């Protein structure tokens, strides 16, 4: 099983890389400016899978603009998840499981 090099989230291509994050408490991070998800290179299996999912959620919120809101309305978040995050997650799991 190998990690896809990129995934499309809300029409935006986001690269996925393994790297040394240098912090034991940081498993992954998303840079909106760079459109890049970096995952700790030591992660495997479920930890890797769950961390990518977590960082894709950060990316979805940033791409939709919700992460810049001062307050969150429930319906806005649900629509973001339905229209941006879940389709991207489905594409990722198909590619992750097939490679």
Confidence of residue 69 (pLDDT cuts 50, 70, 90): confident
The pLDDT of residue 35 is 98
The pLDDT of residue 99 is 63
- Helices 45-64 and 86-98 pack at an angle, to 10 degrees, of 150
Residue 89 DSSP code: H
User: Model's pTM, two decimal places?
Assistant: 0.81
Which two three-digit tokens encode residue 53? 């999912």
Q: Is 83 in a helix, a strand, or coil?
A: helix
All structural domains of the chain, each given as residue ranges with its CATH number in brackets, are 6-98 (3.30.2010)
Question: What are the residue ranges of helices labelled H in 1-99?
Answer: 45-64, 74-80, 86-98
Does residue 16 surpass a pLDDT of 90? yes
CA-only gyration radius of the chain, Å: 13
Q: What share of the chain is helix, strand, coil (3-state, %, to 5)?
A: 50, 20, 30
């Amino acid at each position: 099983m190998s990690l896809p090099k990129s995934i499309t989230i809300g029409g935006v291509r986001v690269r996925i890389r393994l790297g040394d994050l240098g912090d034991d408490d940081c498993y992954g991070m998303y840079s909106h400016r760079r459109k890049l998800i970096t995952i700790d290179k030591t992660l495997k299996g479920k930890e890797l899978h769950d961390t990518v999912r977590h960082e894709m959620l950060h990316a979805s919120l940033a791409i939709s603009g919700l992460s810049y809101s001062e307050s969150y309305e429930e319906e806005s978040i649900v629509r973001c998840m339905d229209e941006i995050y879940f389709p991207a997650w489905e594409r990722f799991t198909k590619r992750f499981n097939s490679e």
